[in-house]
């Protein structure tokens, strides 16, 4: 296997290679630790670097606090036992903030991707000024940071998970929030800096919430070897994301996945996006509750829908079955177009799967032209509890740390 320590001509080149190798080793420690115990020898075999090179890199990661070591591990083979290595459970972490139509959820994850702190508040954000909504989110984030510090966790960045079209730090359009051209990153950063001194320099990035939920499902869910899947999240709106070969398909402008605004009936009800007959008008939260005759909105309304469906209420069963058929029809077109291995349903759909899945699966079986989709074949599945946008957002920050630990090591990083 190729060694990355080929002699290079300039110090800049050598620094670049060392930074790359630090990332390789840190990722290997994390991955080996997930499977059991990581050692210098095991990391060396995994990344293809010499033991001496790995030892030097591990020492730097230990010194900068990204890795810890403890005890001895015995492999059963001849030779000295290795020291067990793990990514640090304290120190650098990621902060994820999901702003949705009727709730805000904030999550802190450590370098292993473990969710360590979570705060969620149910709020009606429809029609509220963006500045007010993002200030509320910043307040929840500030309290979450206080809880994180109690566990010696210090987020090095924030990622916002936002509904609608998100690009360049702004929400270009979020119909269900009524947002257009909102500089969400700047508004949130300013609000957080005013509430939590010391966070003014904390970098903030943003991404569509369905994209981040799909990444959380990829990184933490129960997909096994599946690396290509279509992810749908049902809330008040319907969001979508497509992962192909482990990579998020963003599209030319970052707006891929807006499946909730695929038109299923041009003469259908008017949608907040300005079109008519969009999928979310038939399978979104409000449409489902309305069809079931449930007046309560939000999480309480969804729980009531689940309760009534479980009790065999005809109106509730008909509402969920109708939404399932519409989902199956639209999803079949996406499956024909992109050929994913699975379709994963998250958000409110996860709890409705016992009644939603059969009609959706039937439509997919009848309409997917390859014939590879079969009723009950397990290709239509509910998301895991780990596949949520706030955790995906926080993990996105952690991915940045893993990709370039030197950039987040601060002044303690030794000169490479």
DSSP string of 263-315?
BS-TTSPBPTTS-BSBTHHHHSHHHHHHHHT----HHHHHHHHHHHHHTT-HH
372 or 105: which carries more pLDDT confidence? 105
Distance CA 100, CA 256 (A): 19
Q: How many angstroms separate the Cα of 129 from the Cα of each of 125, 166, 175, 297?
A: 8, 17, 13, 21
Query: Residue 123 CB: number of other CB atoms within 10 A?
Result: 18
Residue 295 has pLDDT above 90, yes or no: yes
Q: Which of 104-108, 369-373, 407-411 has the lowest mean pLDDT?
A: 407-411
Rg, the chain, Cα only:
23
Residue 72 has pLDDT above 90, yes or no: no
Q: How many angstroms separate the Cα of 237 from the Cα of each of 65, 116, 164, 415?
A: 42, 28, 9, 50
Sequence-distant (6+) residues with CB within 8 A of 154 are: 91, 92, 93, 148
DSSP bridge partners of 72: 83
> Would you place residue 297 in the very low, low, confident or very high pLDDT band (cuts 50, 70, 90)?
confident
Q: Whole-model pTM above 0.95?
A: no
Task: Give pLDDT, residue 298.
Answer: 85
Closest residue by Cα to residue 27 from 83, 84, 87, 82: 87
> Would you place residue 312 in the very low, low, confident or very high pLDDT band (cuts 50, 70, 90)?
very high
> Would you place residue 201 in the very low, low, confident or very high pLDDT band (cuts 50, 70, 90)?
confident
Q: pLDDT tens for residues 2-16?
A: 443 444 456 668 888
Distance CA 172, CA 189 (A): 18
Residue 138 has pLDDT above 90, yes or no: yes
Residue 246 has pLDDT above 90, yes or no: yes
14 and 4 Cβ atoms separated by less than 8 Å: no
78 and 55 Cβ atoms separated by less than 8 Å: no
Structure tokens at 149: 């510090």
Find where tokens 């705060």 sit: 119
Sequence-distant (6+) residues with CB within 8 A of 415 are: none
Task: Give pLDDT, residue 83.
Answer: 81
Q: Is 95 helix (H, G, I), strand (E, B) or coil?
A: strand
Query: Residue 243 CB: number of other CB atoms within 10 A?
Result: 26
Beta-strand relationship, 165-167 and 342-347: unpaired
The backbone torsions φ and ψ at residue 215, rounded to the nearest 5 degrees and listed phi first, read -65, -40
């Amino acid at each position: 296997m190729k060694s990355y320590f080929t002699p290079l001509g300039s110090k800049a080149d050598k620094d670049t290679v060392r930074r790359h190798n630090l990332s390789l080793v840190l990722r290997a420690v994390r991955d080996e630790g997930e499977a059991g115990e990581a050692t210098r020898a095991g990391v060396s075999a995994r990344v293809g670097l010499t033991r001496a090179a790995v030892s030097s890199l591990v020492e730097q990661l230990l010194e900068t606090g990204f890795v810890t070591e403890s005890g001895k591990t015995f492999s059963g083979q001849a030779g000295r036992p290795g020291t067990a290595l793990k990514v640090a459970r304290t120190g650098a972490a990621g902060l994820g903030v999901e702003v949705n139509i009727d709730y805000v959820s904030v999550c802190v994850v450590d370098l292993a991707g473990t969710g360590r702190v979570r705060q969620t508040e149910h709020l009606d954000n429809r029609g509220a000024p963006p500045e007010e909504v993002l200030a509320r989110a910043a307040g929840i984030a500030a309290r979450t940071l206080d809880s994180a510090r109690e566990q010696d966790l210090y987020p090095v960045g924030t990622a916002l998970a936002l509904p609608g079209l998100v690009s360049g730090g702004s929400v270009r359009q979020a119909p269900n929030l009524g947002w257009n051209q909102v500089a969400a990153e700047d508004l949130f950063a300013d609000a957080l800096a005013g509430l939590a001194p010391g966070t003014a320099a904390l970098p903030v990035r943003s991404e569509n919430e369905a994209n981040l939920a799909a990444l959380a499902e990829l990184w933490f869910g129960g997909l096994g070897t599946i690396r290509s899947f279509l992810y749908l999240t049902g809330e008040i709106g319907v969001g979508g994301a497509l992962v192909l070969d482990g990579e998020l398909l963003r599209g030319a402008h970052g707006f891929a996945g807006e499946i909730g605004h695929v038109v299923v009936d041009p003469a259908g009800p008017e949608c907040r996006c300005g079109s008519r007959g969009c999928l979310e008008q038939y399978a979104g939260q409000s449409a489902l509750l309305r069809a079931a005759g449930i007046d309560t909105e939000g999480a309480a309304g969804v729980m009531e829908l689940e309760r009534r469906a479980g009790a065999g209420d005809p109106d509730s069963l008909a509402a969920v079955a109708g939404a399932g058929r519409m989902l199956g029809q639209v999803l079949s077109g996406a499956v024909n177009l992109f050929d994913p291995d699975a379709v994963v349903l998250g958000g409110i759909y996860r709890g409705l799967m016992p009644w939603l899945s059969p009609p959706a699966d039937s439509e997919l079986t009848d309409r997917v032209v390859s014939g590879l989709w079969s009723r009950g074949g397990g290709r239509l599945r509910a998301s895991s509890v780990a596949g949520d946008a706030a955790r995906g957002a926080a993990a996105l920050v952690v991915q940045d740390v893993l990709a370039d630990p030197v950039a987040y090591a601060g002044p303690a990083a030794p000169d490479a």
